[in-house]
Amino acid sequence: TKMVETEKHLVFPLVYKLIELALLLPVSTASVERAFLAMKIIKSKLCSTINDDWFNHLMICYTEREIFKSLDDEVITRRFQAMKARKGILPRVSF
């Protein structure tokens, strides 16, 4: 902030970029560690018997689980029941 206040970031753009990267490094390292932890949890639970496509979908669901917790299961069920082309038939549930 001091560099921006004194406008030194314009004079020394590479130094400013280096400082930005140094401040971002702990955040990006933590997110990568969380991703690898999620991968380890998913892989160990499923005994490494899943293909890459399914694994990628599970990783997204696991890492974004807070978003998925906010979704209503009934809306998702109705959407899949309304789909015409699908491999299996979901039972109709009325609440």
User: How far is the C-alpha of 20 from the C-alpha of 55, rounded, in Å?
Assistant: 33
Domain membership of residue 27 (yes or no) is: yes
Task: Tell whether the model's pLDDT for residue 46 goes beyond 70.
Answer: no
Q: Mutual orientation of helices 13-45 and 52-63 as an angle, nearest 10°?
A: 110
- Domain with 20 in it: 2-82
Domain membership of residue 95 (yes or no) is: no
Domain membership of residue 34 (yes or no) is: yes
Who has greater pLDDT, 74 or 23?
Answer: 74
Phi, psi of 27 (to 5 degrees): -65, -45
State percent of the chain over pLDDT 90: 0
Domain membership of residue 88 (yes or no) is: no
Whether pTM exceeds 0.75: no
Q: pLDDT class for 60, splitting at 50, 70, 90?
A: confident
Look at the chain and report how many structural domains it folds into: 1
18-38, pLDDT tens digit by residue?
888 887 776 666 777 777 777
